Amino acid sequence: MPSEWKQILTQKVQFYGALADEDKNRFEQSILQFFDQVTITAVETKIDDTDRLLVAASAVIPLFGFPHWAYRNLNEVLLYEGNFNEDYHTSGVDRPILGMVGSGAMNRMMILSKPALRQGFEDQHGKSNLGIHEFVHLLDKADGSTDGIPEVLLEQPYVIPWIKQMHEEIKQIQTNESDINPYGASNESEFLSVVSEYFFKQPKLLESKHPKLFALMRSMYQQNLA
């Protein structure tokens, strides 16, 4: 990997910066492998190496505990200049969407708003990261159903405890007793993506506030970041 790229990763990707040298090397290899398998396309905007690296980092982070795993359900990531709506329009007033995993004609594609992707890595004290959010949807989808239960990651004995914990945490969000982004209470699949952003960005905080959830996610992702 070119040294300029390593520099970008060091500056922008907290997760990478915290890794030991040996793991940094593995992270870089995974990024290169991602570039081999997935095309990143700019739509009506310009992108640079940083944008490409942030997309790849978003893909590599959730799977870093599974060295032999790759995304088999993705060919292309489109980067848009901003928010968009359900018809993929990037202009006009009502454009609530920042990112999505495509279905139907858009199957095997992901769309991300470029500024929102960058924002997720710039804001190092928050609990959100759009790129990680969307790649976790892709992992969730890999077993055929986007339902908040990523069977490709979750070993069988953990499935029932995960579902129980998920429902308990969603209930706490709904009764305003949680610091998890309320969007996570939309449904199980959004819950998984939202708490995964939290897990990878603020692992220590998640461990202290939601120890049971953290323990399940540590087994799920095979990573102990706290």
The residue ranges that bind Zn ion (CB under 5 A) are: 190, 193
To 5 degrees, how large is the angle CA 191–CA 123–CA 201?
Answer: 45
- Shortest separation between residue 24's beta carbon and Zn ion, angstroms: 29
Q: Three-class SS string for 73-133?
A: CCCEEEEECCCECCCCCCCCCCCCECEEECCHHHCCEEEEEHHHHHHHHHCCCCCCCHHHH
The answer to whether residues 27 and 75 touch, using CB atoms and an 8 Å cutoff, is no
- Shortest separation between residue 120's beta carbon and Zn ion, angstroms: 13
Of 54 and 194, CB closest to Zn ion? 194
Of 27 and 135, CB closest to Zn ion? 135
What Rg value do the Cα atoms of the chain yield, rounded? 17
- Shortest separation between residue 151's beta carbon and Zn ion, angstroms: 18
- Shortest separation between residue 100's beta carbon and Zn ion, angstroms: 7
How many residues are present in the chain? 226
- Shortest separation between residue 11's beta carbon and Zn ion, angstroms: 27
Distance between first and last Cα of the chain: 28
Of 1 and 152, CB closest to Zn ion? 152
Q: What's the sign of the alpha-carbon dihedral 156, 144, 52, 214?
A: negative
- Shortest separation between residue 110's beta carbon and Zn ion, angstroms: 11
As a whole number of angstroms, the distance between CA 7 and CA 146 comes to 35
Of 169 and 190, CB closest to Zn ion? 190
Of 28 and 134, CB closest to Zn ion? 134
Of 197 and 207, CB closest to Zn ion? 197
Q: Which residue is nearest to Zn ion (CB)?
A: 193
